[in-house]
Amino acid sequence: MREIAIIGIGQTSVDEHWDKSLRELAGEAVFAALSDARRQTVDGIFIGNMLSGILNRQESLGALVADWTGLKHIEAFKVEAACSSGAAALRVAMMAVGSGELDSVIALGIEKMTETKGADTTAALAEAADADYETPHGLSFVALNALVMRRYMHEYGWSHTDFAPFSINAHANAVSNPYARLHEAITEKDYQRSRMVADPINLLDASPIGDGAAALLIVPTDQLYPHNGRGRPLITVAGSTASTDTLAIHDRHDPIWLAAAESSAMRAYAQAGVGPEDIDLFELHDAFSIMSALSLEACGFAERGQGPRLGLDGDILPGGRIPICTLGGLKARGHPVGATGIYQIAEVVQQLRGEAGETQVDGARIGMAQNIGGSGSTIITHILKVK
Amino acid sequence: MREIAIIGIGQTSVDEHWDKSLRELAGEAVFAALSDARRQTVDGIFIGNMLSGILNRQESLGALVADWTGLKHIEAFKVEAACSSGAAALRVAMMAVGSGELDSVIALGIEKMTETKGADTTAALAEAADADYETPHGLSFVALNALVMRRYMHEYGWSHTDFAPFSINAHANAVSNPYARLHEAITEKDYQRSRMVADPINLLDASPIGDGAAALLIVPTDQLYPHNGRGRPLITVAGSTASTDTLAIHDRHDPIWLAAAESSAMRAYAQAGVGPEDIDLFELHDAFSIMSALSLEACGFAERGQGPRLGLDGDILPGGRIPICTLGGLKARGHPVGATGIYQIAEVVQQLRGEAGETQVDGARIGMAQNIGGSGSTIITHILKVK
Nearest CB partner across the interface for B263, out of A73, A92, A130: A73
Disruptive mutation site among A23, A56, A60, A250 for chain B (greatest number of B CBs within 10 Å): A60
Nearest CB partner across the interface for A60, out of B57, B59, B374: B374
What's chain B's length in residues? 387
Please say if A227 is a catalytic residue.
no
> pLDDT tens digit string along B60-84?
999 999 999 999 799 999 999 999 9
Handedness of CA A315, A319, A323, A324 (dihedral sign): positive
Instruction: Determine the Cα–Cα distance for residues A272 and A318; give it in Å rounded to an integer.
Output: 23
Q: Give residue A230's pLDDT.
A: 64
B378 with A127: Cβ contact below 8 A: no
B60 with A99: Cβ contact below 8 A: no
B82 with A59: Cβ contact below 8 A: yes
d(CA A59, nearest CA chain B) in Å: 5
For chain A, the farthest-separated pair of C-alpha atoms sits apart, in whole angstroms, at 57
Nearest CB partner across the interface for B60, out of A67, A128, A260: A128
State whether residue A320 sits within 8 Å of chain B by CB: no
DSSP track, B20-54: S-HHHHHHHHHHHHHHHTT-S--SEEEEE-SSIII
> pLDDT tens digit string along A274-332?
999 999 999 999 999 999 999 999 999 999 999 999 999 999 999 999 999 999 999 99
How confident is the model over B267-278, as a mean pLDDT? 98
Q: B254 vs B42, B142, B260, B285, B304, CA distance in Å?
A: 44, 19, 12, 19, 12
State whether residue A344 sits within 8 Å of chain B by CB: no
B60 with A124: Cβ contact below 8 A: no
Nearest CB partner across the interface for A247, out of B63, B123, B374: B63
A1 with B100: Cβ contact below 8 A: yes
Query: Which residue in chain A has the smallest CA separation from B381?
Result: A75
Helices (H), B235-336: 259-272, 289-298, 307-312, 329-332
Burial of A222 (0-12, 13-18, 19+ CB in 10 A): exposed
Q: Give residue B355's pLDDT.
A: 97
Does pLDDT of B357 surpass 70?
A: yes
Instruction: Determine the Cα–Cα distance for residues A326 and A314; give it in Å rounded to an integer.
Output: 13
Q: Which residues of A touch B246 (CB under 8 A)?
A: 63, 67, 72
A127 with B58: Cβ contact below 8 A: yes
Q: Give residue B79's pLDDT.
A: 98
> pLDDT tens digit string along A138-184?
999 999 999 999 999 999 999 999 999 999 999 999 999 999 999 99
Instruction: Determine the Cα–Cα distance for residues A157 and A151; give it in Å rounded to an integer.
Output: 10
Does pLDDT of A228 surpass 80?
A: no
Catalytic residue among A83, A171, A285, A299: A83
Please say if A325 is a catalytic residue.
no
Q: Give residue A231's pLDDT.
A: 76
Disruptive mutation site among B3, B69, B247, B375 for chain A (greatest number of A CBs within 10 Å): B247
A60 with B373: Cβ contact below 8 A: yes
State whether residue A101 sits within 8 Å of chain B by CB: yes
Q: Give residue A185's pLDDT.
A: 98
Query: Which residue in chain A has the smallest CA separation from B267?
Result: A73
Instruction: Determine the Cα–Cα distance for residues A147 and A160; give it in Å rounded to an integer.
Output: 13
Q: Give residue A116's pLDDT.
A: 80
> pLDDT tens digit string along A12-51?
999 999 999 999 999 999 999 999 999 999 999 999 999 9
Peptide bond into B208 cis (omega under 30): no
Q: Is there a contact between A95 and A44 (Cβ–Cβ < 8 Å)?
A: no
How confident is the model over B284-295, as a mean pLDDT? 98
Peptide bond into B220 cis (omega under 30): no
Instruction: Determine the Cα–Cα distance for residues A54 and A47; give it in Å rounded to an integer.
Output: 16
DSSP secondary-structure letter at A371? E
B1 with A101: Cβ contact below 8 A: yes
Catalytic residue IDs of B = 83, 335
pLDDT-derived band at A1 (thresholds 50, 70, 90) equals confident
pLDDT-derived band at B227 (thresholds 50, 70, 90) equals low
Q: Which residues of A touch B22 (CB under 8 A)?
A: 131
* Contacts for B387 with CB less than 8 Å, ≥ 6 apart: B5, B221, B233, B234, B235, B236
pLDDT-derived band at A115 (thresholds 50, 70, 90) equals confident
Nearest CB partner across the interface for A50, out of B59, B79, B98: B59
Helix axes B164-174, B289-298, angle to 10 degrees: 100
pLDDT-derived band at A78 (thresholds 50, 70, 90) equals very high
State whether residue A185 sits within 8 Å of chain B by CB: no
Does pLDDT of A227 surpass 70?
A: no
Q: B298 vs A63, A362, B84, B291, CA distance in Å?
A: 19, 57, 17, 10
Q: B171 vs A88, A172, B357, B364, CA distance in Å?
A: 39, 65, 15, 21
Query: Which residue in chain A has the smallest CA separation from B251?
Result: A67
How confident is the model over B193-219, as a mean pLDDT? 98
pLDDT-derived band at B115 (thresholds 50, 70, 90) equals confident
Q: Is there a contact between A143 and A244 (Cβ–Cβ < 8 Å)?
A: no
Disruptive mutation site among B25, B116, B244 for chain A (greatest number of A CBs within 10 Å): B244
Handedness of CA B294, B47, B22, B12 (dihedral sign): positive
> pLDDT tens digit string along A180-217?
999 999 999 999 999 999 999 999 999 999 999 999 99
d(CA B339, nearest CA chain A) in Å: 15
pLDDT-derived band at B288 (thresholds 50, 70, 90) equals very high
How confident is the model over B243-261, as a mean pLDDT? 97
Catalytic residue among A17, A171, A335, A382: A335
Q: Give residue B229's pLDDT.
A: 54
* Contacts for B20 with CB less than 8 Å, ≥ 6 apart: B12, B28, B211
B67 with A91: Cβ contact below 8 A: no
Here the ipTM equals: 0.97
Q: B384 vs A102, A167, B387, CA distance in Å?
A: 21, 54, 9
Pairing state between β B235-244 and B366-373: unpaired
Chain A from 46 to 75: CB within 8 A of any B CB: 50-51, 53-54, 56-64, 66-67, 72-75
Q: Give residue A164's pLDDT.
A: 98
Query: Which residue in chain B has the smallest CA separation from A377?
Result: B63
Does pLDDT of B228 surpass 80?
A: no
pLDDT-derived band at B226 (thresholds 50, 70, 90) equals low
Chain A from 16 to 35: CB within 8 A of any B CB: 21-23
Does pLDDT of B230 surpass 70?
A: no
Nearest CB partner across the interface for B373, out of A1, A63, A94: A63
Q: Which residues of B touch A67 (CB under 8 A)?
A: 244-248, 251, 377
pLDDT-derived band at A122 (thresholds 50, 70, 90) equals very high
Does pLDDT of B27 surpass 70?
A: yes
Instruction: Determine the Cα–Cα distance for residues A278 and A338; give it in Å rounded to an integer.
Output: 29
Instruction: Determine the Cα–Cα distance for residues B253 and B255; give it in Å rounded to an integer.
Output: 6
State whether residue A77 sits within 8 Å of chain B by CB: yes
d(CA B75, nearest CA chain A) in Å: 5
Query: Which residue in chain B has the smallest CA separation from A88?
Result: B77
A374 with B60: Cβ contact below 8 A: yes
State whether residue A266 sits within 8 Å of chain B by CB: no
State whether residue B1 sits within 8 Å of chain A by CB: yes
Q: Give residue B223's pLDDT.
A: 84
A73 with B1: Cβ contact below 8 A: no
d(CA B161, nearest CA chain A) in Å: 32
Report angle CA B46, B50, B52 to the nearest 5 degrees: 90
Q: Which residues of B touch A2 (CB under 8 A)?
A: 99
Q: Which residues of B touch A56 (CB under 8 A)?
A: 131
Query: Which residue in chain B has the smallest CA separation from A70?
Result: B246
> pLDDT tens digit string along B156-201?
999 999 999 999 999 999 999 999 999 999 999 999 999 999 999 9
How confident is the model over B284-312, as a mean pLDDT? 98
Chain A from 128 to 147: CB within 8 A of any B CB: 128-132, 135
DSSP track, A45-78: EEEE-SSIIIIIS---HHHHHHHHTT-TTSEEEE
A63 with B247: Cβ contact below 8 A: yes
